[in-house]
Copies of this chain bind each other. A is one copy, B any other.
Amino acid sequence: MLTIGKLGQQAGVKVPTIRYYEQIGLLPEAERSAGNQRLYSRKSLERLAFIRHARDLGFTLEAIRDLLSLSDRPDQSCAAADAIAKAQLAEVESRLARLTALKAELERMVLQCAGGRIADCRVIEVLGDHSLCATDHSHPEPELSS
């Protein structure tokens, strides 16, 4: 059995984060020692490592909650899990597209500035006027699904 500190070390997750995951029901309530300290099994470590890895891949806690409950039913079809992963891939691709446009625009700004006074600064000028931009990088509207 592991203390919360050891568990955190082994999974690469900070101690308060583990308690937070328990609080929101992503991890089950831990066993307690005689002195009321949390104790974790090897299985808890696996579950936490799963969460950590999914977080590293950008999944939301809600998606992870679903993935965990799916992984608890090994005989069911994995279609739902695959759908979650595909949605995450789509999300990453759309962010990537947006960031690529941002990068181009920021590079242009930085390169065009000759480095004089604020009054002549291309950075300030472009920030004040999107029509000086080459790309469209406006915030995507929240999509209203029927």
- Residues of A in contact with B (beta carbons under 8 Å apart): 12, 46, 49-50, 53-58, 67, 70-71, 73-79, 81-82, 84-86, 88-89, 92-93, 95-96, 98-100, 102-103, 105-107, 109-110, 113, 115-121, 123-124, 127-130, 137-142, 144, 146
Q: Are B82 and A119 in contact (CB under 8 A)?
A: no
Copies of this protein, total:
2
Q: Are B88 and A127 in contact (CB under 8 A)?
A: no
SS class of chain A's interface: helix, strand, loop or mixed?
Answer: helix
Q: Are A57 and B118 in contact (CB under 8 A)?
A: no
> Once the chains are docked, how many angstroms separate the CA of A70 from the CA of B84?
45
Q: Are A105 and B57 in contact (CB under 8 A)?
A: yes
